[in-house]
Amino acid sequence: MQTLRRTPLHERHAGLGARLVPFAGWEMPVQYTSIAEEHTAVRTGAGVFDVSHMGQLELAGDVAHEYLQARLTNDLDRIEPGRAQYTLLTNDEGGIVDDLIAYRRGPDDYLLVVNASNRETDHAALRETRDVSDEWALVAVQGPEALDRLGIDVAPFAFREDEVLGVRCLVAGTGYTGERGCELGCDPADAPRLWDAILERGIVPCGLAARDTLRLEACYPLHGNDITPGRTPIEAGLGWACALEKRFTGVDVLRSQKEEGPREKLVAFRMQDKGIPRQGMPIEEGGVVTSGTLSPTLGEAIGLAYVDAALAEPGTEITIDLRGRPRRARIVKKPFYEREER
Residue 5 lies in a domain: no
The count of domains in the chain is 3
**Residue pLDDT, tens place only, 178-237:** 999 999 999 999 999 999 999 999 999 999 999 999 999 999 999 999 999 999 999 999
- Same domain, yes or no: 212 and 147: yes
- Same domain, yes or no: 39 and 143: yes
Residue 3 lies in a domain: no
pLDDT of residue 341: 64
DSSP state of 243: -
- Same domain, yes or no: 201 and 319: no
CB 166 within 8 A of CB 175: no
- Same domain, yes or no: 173 and 281: no
**Residue pLDDT, tens place only, 314-329:** 999 999 999 999 999 9
pLDDT at 18 over 70: yes
- Average pLDDT of the segment spanning 256-262: 97
- Same domain, yes or no: 73 and 212: no
Residue 222 lies in a domain: no
d(CA 274, CA 262): 31
Task: Name the β-bridge partners of 102.
Answer: 85, 112
Look up the CATH number of the domain holding residue 247: 3.30.70.1400
Residue 123 lies in a domain: yes
CB 150 within 8 A of CB 198: yes
Residue 287 lies in a domain: yes
- Same domain, yes or no: 180 and 151: yes
CB 123 within 8 A of CB 159: no
d(CA 44, CA 149): 13
d(CA 135, CA 133): 5
Look up the CATH number of the domain holding residue 292: 2.40.30.110
- Same domain, yes or no: 86 and 152: no
DSSP3 helix / strand / coil % (the chain, rounded to 5): 25, 35, 40
- Same domain, yes or no: 158 and 207: yes
- Same domain, yes or no: 60 and 82: yes
**Residue pLDDT, tens place only, 80-138:** 999 999 999 999 999 999 999 999 999 999 999 999 999 999 999 999 999 999 999 99
pLDDT at 1 over 80: no
- Average pLDDT of the segment spanning 283-312: 98
pLDDT at 342 over 90: no
Helix (H) or strand (E) holding 23: strand 19-23
pLDDT at 4 over 60: yes
- The whole domain housing 149 covers 10-51+136-217
Q: For residue 127, how many other CB atoms are within 10 A of its CB?
A: 7
pLDDT at 313 over 70: yes
DSSP state of 163: E
Q: In the structure, what pLDDT confidence band is assigned to residue 312 with cuts at 50, 70 and 90? A: very high
pLDDT at 72 over 80: yes
DSSP state of 158: B
> Minimal CA–CA distance to 121: which of 240, 24, 259?
24
- Same domain, yes or no: 147 and 255: no
59 Cβ partners below 8 Å, 6+ apart?
67, 68, 109, 110, 112, 126, 128, 129, 130
Residue 156 preceded by cis peptide, ω within 30: no
pLDDT of residue 339: 86
